[in-house]
Amino acid sequence: MIYRLTRRNLTVFFRDPPAVFFSLLSSLILFVLFIAFLGNLQTQALHDQLPDASNASVNAFVHSWVLASVVMIATMTTSLSALVVFVNDRVTDGFRDFLVTPATRVQMISGYLLASFVVSMILSSAVLVFSQVFLGIFDHAVLGPSKLFAAFFSMVGFCLLFASIWSFFVTFVKSNAVFMSLGTIIGTAGGFLAGAYITVGTLPTGVVTFMNLLPLNPAATLMRQSFTASTLDSLTSTEQATTIVREEYGLNLLVANTSVSAWLLWFLFVLLFAIFLFIGSRRIGRRLG
**Cβ at position 66, least distance to other proteins in Å:** 34
100 sits near other proteins (criterion: CB under 8 A):
yes
Binder of other proteins out of 40, 44, 54, 101 (CB under 8 A): 101
Minimum CB–partner distance for residue 169 and other proteins (Å): 24
If binding is defined by CB under 8 A, does position 93 make contact with other proteins? yes
Contact segment (CB under 8 A) with other proteins among 66-74, 93-101, 180-188, 219-227 equals 93-101
Rounded CA separation 273/5 (Å): 22
Stretch in the footprint of other proteins (CB under 8 A) among 56-64, 102-110, 163-171, 186-194: 102-110
8 Å CB contact between 139 and 250: no
DSSP, collapsed to helix, strand or coil, labels residue 243 as helix
Q: Using CB under 8 A, pick the residue from 104, 181, 202, 257 that binds other proteins.
A: 104
CB 228 within 8 A of CB 253: no
Number of neighbours of residue 254 by Cβ within 10 angstroms: 19
The whole-angstrom separation of Cα 188 and Cα 45 is 24
CA distance 24 to 4: 26
Show the site string, 2-41: x = touches other proteins by CB under 8 A, - = not. Answer: --xx-xx--xx--xx-------------------------
Interface pick for other proteins out of 21, 94, 126, 270 (rule CB under 8 A): 94
Distance from the first to the final alpha carbon of the chain: 19
Closer CB to other proteins, 18 or 204, in the complex: 18
# residues near other proteins by CB under 8 A: 22
CB of 124 to other proteins, least distance (A): 23
Tell the smallest beta-carbon distance from residue 185 to other proteins (Å): 25
Q: Which of 97, 146, 238, 243 binds other proteins (CB under 8 A)?
A: 97
Among 103, 142, 241, 255, indicate the residue that binds other proteins (CB under 8 A): 103
Q: Which amino acid is at 261?
A: S
Nearer to other proteins, 4 or 185 (CB): 4
Name, in order, each residue with C-beta under 8 angstroms of 230's C-beta and a sequence gap of 6 or more: 141, 143, 144, 147
- Taking CB under 8 A as the rule, does residue 96 contact other proteins? yes
Please list, residue by residue across 57-83, b when 16 or more beta carbons sit within 10 angstroms of its beta carbon and e when fewer do.
bbbbbbbbbbbbbbbbbbbbbbbbbbb
Residue 213 CB: number of other CB atoms within 10 A? 15
* Cα–Cα distance, 57 to 233 (Å, whole number): 9
Strands 258-259 and 254-255: antiparallel
Task: Rule CB under 8 A: choose which of 32, 41, 99, 177 binds other proteins.
Answer: 99
- The residue ranges that bind other proteins (CB under 8 A) are 1, 4-5, 7-8, 11-12, 15-16, 92-94, 96-104, 289
